[in-house]
A = this chain, B = another copy of it.
Amino acid sequence: MVQTDALATIEHASVRFDTPFTLECGTTLPNHTVAFRTSGTLNAARTNAVLICHALTGDQYVAERQPVTGKPGWWEMMVGPGKPVDTDRYFVICANVLGGCMGSTGPREMRPDGSAPWGTDFPPVTIRDMVRAQKQLIEHLGIARLFAVVGGSMGGMQVLQWAALYPDAVFAALPIATAAHHSAQNIAFHEVGRQAIFADPDWQGGRYWESGRIPARGLAVARMCAHITYLSEEALTRKFGRRLQGAPKDSSEAISLFGEMFEVESYLRHQGSTFVQRFDANSYLTITRAMDYFDLAADYEGDLANAFRGTRTRFLLVSFTSDWLFPTSQSRAIARSLNRAGANVSFVEIPSDKGHDAFLLDEPDFHRTVAGFLRGCAMHAGLAA
């Protein structure tokens, strides 16, 4: 189990805003930093920008090597030259969310007075706070209107929030495998993850930078639990079934029958232990909380349609048949609200047995759907091919 803070060794391209930024909770940050990456070229009219919003454990390294892990970007199947979000045509931007741990202001950044990291004193942030920080970045880049805002899971929540808050700044919105609010079951799974972190004595009330020991075991358990919810029962069965492998000989923990353990156990342990190298526990607490509190309709008298009345944004909603974390029923509810608001909306349910993670994986139908929708929007937006 890695105990060192690998995150501390990386520098990220970023912009610092020195104007006060008041969060939804009432706290004002005197300044804040937004770390971001771009690819492709902004056209002269500044009309070809696509903002990608990342999910809970994602980051701004969408389509390039992630500097901590050295692995490919998390959405290289979707974003790049000739890909559905074609960087030969579009100027792609992705920012690390507020509260994150890849260079944007969050719990592991220093307090404004420079005395110590924020830790758990970092104010709670909301999806709306994240989106407002992204809007500042977009303005900083001289872009008045985004051609498209695209994101899956928590990224999709941000897309919905963007379309509700800044309808004139979003030509096309693609909320994918997402919901307009977090369900009780979603909240419950997040709470298990948080309790696993709290239960790790190395969490040290969130002040783990003092000892240099990070709460790796608790964070790993949180990740393992979440990871199961990202996969379908079918995907787990297909990948692992009940196949056995040799149990680690040096572990008192195996409690194996006949010296064997299940492959799915080994896989989950690996998922947990690699995750802690690239993610900050306090950021995990902050961002899961932001997702849990997301309830877009609540900001509009309890009627989601009110969030979108009069909008001219074109929407593409995508869900996946085997996604039980953000099931099709939640995308359908968004589609209904958009219809009631008179919005221009397409809704596609992609057959897949890969679960929630399908939006990150090789799903040709999904990629064709996004590519086709963006091509159509580009025509309507007057973007030359």
Q: Are A257 and B126 in contact (CB under 8 A)?
A: yes
Q: What B residues does A268 contact at CB under 8 A?
A: 188, 191-192, 195
In angstroms, Cα B293 to Cα A255, docked, is 12
Q: What B residues does A239 contact at CB under 8 A?
A: 184
What 9 A-B pairs are tightest by C-beta distance, nearest first? A199-B217, A184-B236, A124-B257, A191-B265, A185-B233, A198-B253, A192-B225, A184-B240, A188-B228
Q: What B residues does A240 contact at CB under 8 A?
A: 184
Convert A230-243 into 0s and 1s, putting 1 for each residue whose CB lies closer than 8 angstroms to a CB of B. 01010011011110
Q: Taking the complex as formed, is A174 at the interface, i.e. its CB lies under 8 A from any CB of chain B?
A: no
Q: Are B233 and A184 in contact (CB under 8 A)?
A: yes
Copies in the complex: 2
Q: Are A196 and B182 in contact (CB under 8 A)?
A: no
Q: Are A264 and B199 in contact (CB under 8 A)?
A: no
Instruction: Name A's B-contacting residues (CB within 8 A).
Output: 24-25, 120, 124, 126, 181-185, 187-189, 191-192, 194-196, 198-201, 205-206, 217-218, 220-221, 224-225, 228, 231, 233, 236-237, 239-242, 252-253, 255-258, 262, 264-265, 268-269, 272, 285-286, 289, 292-293, 295, 324
Q: What B residues does A241 contact at CB under 8 A?
A: 184
| Central interface residue in A182, A220, A224, by most chain B CB within 10 Å | A224
Option from B184, B206, B228 in Cβ contact (under 8 Å) with A264:
B184
Q: What B residues does A242 contact at CB under 8 A?
A: 181-184, 187, 295
Q: Are A262 and B195 in contact (CB under 8 A)?
A: no
Q: What B residues does A187 contact at CB under 8 A?
A: 242, 262, 264-265
Question: Nearest Cβ distance between residue A385 and chain B, in whole angstroms?
Answer: 44
User: Nearest CB to that of A201 among chain B residues?
Assistant: B201
Q: Are B196 and A264 in contact (CB under 8 A)?
A: no
8 A-B residue pairings within 8 Å (CB atoms): A24-B257, A185-B236, A188-B224, A188-B236, A191-B224, A192-B225, A205-B252, A206-B252
Q: Are A237 and B192 in contact (CB under 8 A)?
A: no
Q: What B residues does A292 contact at CB under 8 A?
A: 262
In angstroms, Cα B265 to Cα A184, docked, is 9
| With known contacts A188-B228, A191-B264, A252–B25 Cβ distance under 8 A | no
User: Nearest CB to that of A292 among chain B residues?
Assistant: B262
In angstroms, Cα B26 to Cα A258, docked, is 9
Q: What B residues does A324 contact at CB under 8 A?
A: 233, 324
Q: Are B195 and A120 in contact (CB under 8 A)?
A: no
| Central interface residue in A24, A189, A237, A255, by most chain B CB within 10 Å | A255
Q: What B residues does A224 contact at CB under 8 A?
A: 188, 191-192, 195
Option from B220, B252, B293 in Cβ contact (under 8 Å) with A195:
B220
Option from B188, B231, B253, B265 in Cβ contact (under 8 Å) with A265:
B188
In angstroms, Cα B189 to Cα A252, docked, is 20
Q: What B residues does A289 contact at CB under 8 A?
A: 255-257
| Central interface residue in A194, A241, A264, A324, by most chain B CB within 10 Å | A264
Question: Nearest Cβ distance between residue A233 and chain B, in whole angstroms?
Answer: 5
Question: Nearest Cβ distance between residue A1 and chain B, in whole angstroms?
Answer: 9
In angstroms, Cα B124 to Cα A256, docked, is 7
| Central interface residue in A192, A195, A198, A272, by most chain B CB within 10 Å | A192
In angstroms, Cα B243 to Cα A182, docked, is 12
11 further A-B contacts with Cβ under 8 Å, apart from A187-B264, A192-B268, A196-B196, are A25-B257, A183-B242, A184-B242, A185-B231, A187-B262, A188-B224, A188-B264, A191-B269, A192-B224, A205-B252, A262-B292
In angstroms, Cα B194 to Cα A253, docked, is 9
In angstroms, Cα B183 to Cα A38, docked, is 43
